Structure 1
Amino acid sequence: MMCTKKGEPTLKPCDKRCIVQAVRLERPKDISKACRLIKLSRSSLRYQSIKNDGYIMERLEELAKQNPVEGFWKCYGRIRNSGTIVNHKNYTGFIKDGIAAAP
């Protein structure tokens, strides 16, 4: 059983999936037991993300190269005006990773 104290970080589902996969290498038939120990539902184990951020990343890199002094909101506005609708929180993650110009 995994106990966490207040303020202590818990594992993300993707990390839990990795742990379950490692357990499955040793004992392939104990999927439900491994999921129960890690506190991960079996449906979450099978979940695969459908993100397609490749276009957004390419567009941000292109805008950053064209206008290196422009900040985040300027790049975000240009992408939104071109017709691509994505939450701005997705774009800030790319900016923090250093893909586009810093604000």
Structure 2
Amino acid sequence: MVLLVGLLLLLALTLAGPVRQWLEGRAELARLAAGSTAYDQRIADLEAELARQSDPDWTARQARERLAYVLPGDRLVVVVDGEVAEGDAGTLPEAPDTTPRPWYEELLGSVAEADG
């Protein structure tokens, strides 16, 4: 009888490791299957977004809304500090003269401004 109990105990100890590994493998397989489903959903979402972004109308609408782009001939109205600044699309306002003045003119201008 003791021999039978000893053999059963030896058999249980021998099988404990492989059974534990098998159970862990099954759990990992289930976890990976769930992750695969999440990746499949992400792929479907990205493909739908790519299809949407391939549409020229969607691209033009986004450029107008996000970047304030306009087509040539359209009228652009921008509110700056509560004042309306208008201009034709495709044209640029004249830039102020940005040629650098010599340092001594800058100094004299600064002194004259400080004197009031």
Q: Normalised by the shorter chain, which TM-score bucket?
A: under 0.3
Greater fraction of residues in strand? 2
Larger radius of gyration: 2
Normalised by the size of structure 2, how large is the TM-score? Answer: 0.23
Which structure exhibits the higher relative contact order, with contacts defined as CA atoms closer than 8 Å and separated by 6 or more residues? 1
Greater fraction of residues in helix? 2
